Amino acid sequence: MQGYCVKCRAKREMKGAKAITMKNSRPATQGVCPVCNTKMFKIGKA
């Protein structure tokens, strides 16, 4: 799953991506940037 890293300012493949559900019941994916280890977040189905 690809996501946008705000710190690197680039699209990267998420490391340790897992599907979560937000408070408003929408699906999302959360992971970590493989380069800088910053949290990444993408709204929508995985």
What confidence score (pLDDT) does residue 46 get? 67
Structure confidence at residue 13 (pLDDT): 96
CA distance 6 to 40: 8
Q: β-pairing, 10-13 with 15-21?
A: unpaired
| Secondary structure string (H, E, C) spanning 1-46 | CEEEECCCCEEEECEEEEEEECCCCCEEEEEECCCCCCEEEEECCC
pLDDT for res 45: 81
Buried b (16+ CB within 10 A) or exposed e, 4-17: ebeeeeeebebeeb
Single pTM value for the model:
0.81
What pLDDT, in 10s, does the model give residues 2-46? Answer: 999 999 999 999 999 999 999 999 999 999 999 999 999 999 986
